[in-house]
Amino acid sequence: MLCVGMNGEPLPLEHGFPVRMLTPGLYGYAGACKWVTEWN
């Protein structure tokens, strides 16, 4: 899941602006995905 906002506001720089990857159920998980190559 890719997140572009937090609490109704745009994602701040300290939380990964402009987009952050969220892995539901894995708190504090550092995903292996480094970049997005396609968005449908």
Identify the pLDDT of residue 29: 66
**Three-state DSSP class for residue 26:** coil
Encode pLDDT of 1-40 as tens digits. Answer: 888 998 999 999 998 888 888 877 777 666 667 777 887 8
Model confidence, pTM: 0.55
> Among 37, 34, 6, 4, which Cα is nearest to 19's?
4
Identify the pLDDT of residue 5: 93
Identify the pLDDT of residue 12: 92
Task: Locate the domains of the chain by residue range.
Answer: 1-40
Residue ranges of alpha helices (H) inside 1-40 are none
Identify the pLDDT of residue 25: 76
